[in-house]
């Protein structure tokens, strides 16, 4: 059972004051020997009470309370977002409890998962141990029923510490995918604080925190999918490239055994790198080394028919890029841009700008018509042509967000320019740099 809300309690107190002061006023008028000062004090008291009543009614009217609740809940949600992006952990739960305590009238705030206490802040934190199992039956019931619970006594809270000051609590489930994954608990030193205002506040904040947890899980799944895609890409080598390289090395064994041995060692290193399970973000400098390694095999195969040059800003070399992201573009340039009877020139470029990194792969090959350019980033288009441009484009967007990705310019008989645009707004780029 909830006690009357604050507005009702204030009304009762002020009404009592009005009755007392009115009685004194009428008594002053009816009894001549009472001092005029008594009358003036009583009348002044009535005026003061009237002003207090007007102010109190303004401060406690429902729309004002709702506005204050909404503001507090949004402030808490804003400040806790950075922590809940880590998921529901001891570190994130502790930070959320401390922030929520500052913006509410609770004596203590706690967060649990479905089995143990993850965070606690406020009164009683000296003995409400983080990491311990849930001991409150009401908390277990809230998780089991996925409904909030109101605890009105120390016995219902279940704290074994005799001196614990907490005497009441509101327990609200935290949800992900419509299933409880923990609870948010507001503790108070008296059951008189268990009013509709505080219950509504706890429920609203729990919904906001649940939404943040959903978003953190979605982000985690997106990152996991990106990493799985990367590993799948790393395990792929264009069969034509593989066979052509082996044939090139085999032919050099007779004509240039030393060169063949060098290429064979290089190929072993190259192949091993494609199967590495290291970080999915590497420096652009390392990625360009990978491209040069790949190009040595194509140079051995095509000889003077291909040429690779670089125009890379030193400021861009230390920037982080997804691994295995530039080499596919060079591979496509050779496979699709090679003219039948002249040299194919390929130029790698990179430039660091204030809000982005732009990496370019330019060739002077056969180019593409406008229809092919328009379809180049369609799902499935270009399958069998090394690694599809669509795959590279999706990975860039997954790492660096909307606005990042591939841009393609090409004209028939005039070559192709593929630009990798990596936006670096704050979080996605700078934190990884």
> How does pLDDT run across 352-364, given as a tens digit for each residue?
988 889 999 999 9
C-alpha span between 241 and 43 (Å, rounded): 99
Model pLDDT, residue 346: 97
Q: Are 393 and 418 in contact (CB under 8 A)?
A: no
Burial class of residue 337 in the structure, from the number of CB atoms within 10 Å of its CB (0-12 exposed, 13-18 middle, 19+ buried): buried
Torsion angle, CA of 234/236/240/243, rounded to 10 degrees? Answer: 80
Predicted confidence band at 17 (pLDDT cuts at 50, 70, 90)?
A: low
Average pLDDT on 167-183 reads 92
At residue 176, does pLDDT exceed 80? Answer: yes
Neighbouring C-beta atoms of residue 197, cutoff 10 Å: 20
C-alpha span between 424 and 353 (Å, rounded): 9
Q: Are 7 and 60 in contact (CB under 8 A)?
A: yes
Percentage of the chain modeled with pLDDT above 90: 32
At residue 96, does pLDDT exceed 80? Answer: yes
Average pLDDT on 328-350 reads 91
Contacts of 177 (CB under 8 A, 6+ apart): 214
> Which helix (H) or strand (E) segment is 310 a member of?
strand 306-312
Contacts of 354 (CB under 8 A, 6+ apart): none
Range picked from 100-104, 176-180, 282-286, 308-312 for highest mean pLDDT = 308-312
> How does pLDDT run across 304-316, given as a tens digit for each residue?
999 999 999 999 9
Per the structure block, which two tokens stand in for 82?
């950075």
Lowest mean per-residue pLDDT among 1-5, 145-149, 396-400, 418-422: 1-5
> How does pLDDT run across 33-43, given as a tens digit for each residue?
545 555 555 55
> Which helix (H) or strand (E) segment is 408 a member of?
strand 405-410
Neighbouring C-beta atoms of residue 212, cutoff 10 Å: 22
pTM: 0.51
Model pLDDT, residue 254: 84
C-alpha span between 234 and 271 (Å, rounded): 9
> How does pLDDT run across 241-287, given as a tens digit for each residue?
677 788 888 888 888 889 888 888 888 887 777 666 445 688 999 99
Model pLDDT, residue 364: 95
C-alpha span between 418 and 103 (Å, rounded): 51
Q: Which has the closest alpha carbon to 125: 143, 107, 105, 149?
A: 107
Predicted confidence band at 335 (pLDDT cuts at 50, 70, 90)?
A: confident
Average pLDDT on 421-425 reads 80
> How does pLDDT run across 39-62, given as a tens digit for each residue?
555 556 655 655 565 555 544 455
Model pLDDT, residue 230: 60
Model pLDDT, residue 373: 87
Torsion angle, CA of 354/356/357/361, rounded to 10 degrees? Answer: -130
Predicted confidence band at 70 (pLDDT cuts at 50, 70, 90)?
A: low
Q: Are 432 and 338 in contact (CB under 8 A)?
A: no
Q: At what angle do helices 36-60 and 6-30 cross, to 10 degrees?
A: 160
Give the residue with greater pLDDT, 217 vs 429.
Answer: 217
Q: What are phi and psi of 355, to 5 degrees?
A: -120, 5
At residue 349, does pLDDT exceed 70? Answer: yes
Percentage of the chain modeled with pLDDT above 70: 73
Model pLDDT, residue 381: 64
Predicted confidence band at 64 (pLDDT cuts at 50, 70, 90)?
A: very low
Q: Are 190 and 2 in contact (CB under 8 A)?
A: no
């Amino acid at each position: 059972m909830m006690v009357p809300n604050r507005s009702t309690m204030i009304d009762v107190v002020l009404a009592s004051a009005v009755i007392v002061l009115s009685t004194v006023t009428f008594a002053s008028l009816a009894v001549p020997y009472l001092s005029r000062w008594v009358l003036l004090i009583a009348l002044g008291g009535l005026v003061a009470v009237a002003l207090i009543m007007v102010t109190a009614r303004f401060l406690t009217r429902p729309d004002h309370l709702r506005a204050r609740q909404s503001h507090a809940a949004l402030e808490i949600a804003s400040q806790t977002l950075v922590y809940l992006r880590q998921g529901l952990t001891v570190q994130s739960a502790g930070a959320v409890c401390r922030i929520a305590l500052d913006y509410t009238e609770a004596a203590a705030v706690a967060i649990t998962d479905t089995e143990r206490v993850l965070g606690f802040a406020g009164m009683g934190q000296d003995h409400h141990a983080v990491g311990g199992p849930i001991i409150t039956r009401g908390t277990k019931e809230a998780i089991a029923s996925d409904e909030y619970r109101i605890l009105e006594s120390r016995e219902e809270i279940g704290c074994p510490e005799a001196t614990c000051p907490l005497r009441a609590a509101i327990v609200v489930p935290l949800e992900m995918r419509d299933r409880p994954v923990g609870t948010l608990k507001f503790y108070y030193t008296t059951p008189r604080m268990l009013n509709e205002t505080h219950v509504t506040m706890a429920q609203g904040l729990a919904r906001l925190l649940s939404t943040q947890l959903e978003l953190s899980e979605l982000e985690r799944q997106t990152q996991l999918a990106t990493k799985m895609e990367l590993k799948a890409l790393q395990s792929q080598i264009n069969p034509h490239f593989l066979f052509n390289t082996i044939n090139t090395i085999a032919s050099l064994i007779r004509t240039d055994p030393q060169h063949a041995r060098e290429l064979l060692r290089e190929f072993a290193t190259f192949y091993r790198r494609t199967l590495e399970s290291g970080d999915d973000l590497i420096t652009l400098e390392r990625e360009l080394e990978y491209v040069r390694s790949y190009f040595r095999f194509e140079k051995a195969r095509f000889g003077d028919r291909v040429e690779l040059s670089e125009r890379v800003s030193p400021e861009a070399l230390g920037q982080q890029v997804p691994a295995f992201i530039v080499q596919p573009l060079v591979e496509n340039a050779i496979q699709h841009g090679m003219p039948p009877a002249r040299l194919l020139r390929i130029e790698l470029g990179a430039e660091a700008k204030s809000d982005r990194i732009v990496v370019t792969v330019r060739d002077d090959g056969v180019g593409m018509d406008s229809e092919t350019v328009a379809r180049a980033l369609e799902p499935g288009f270009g399958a069998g042509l090394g690694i599809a441009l669509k795959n590279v484009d999706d990975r860039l967007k997954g790492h660096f967000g909307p606005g990042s990705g591939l841009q393609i310019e090409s004209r028939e008989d005039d070559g192709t320019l593929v630009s990798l645009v990596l936006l670096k707004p704050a979080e996605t780029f700078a934190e990884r740099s």
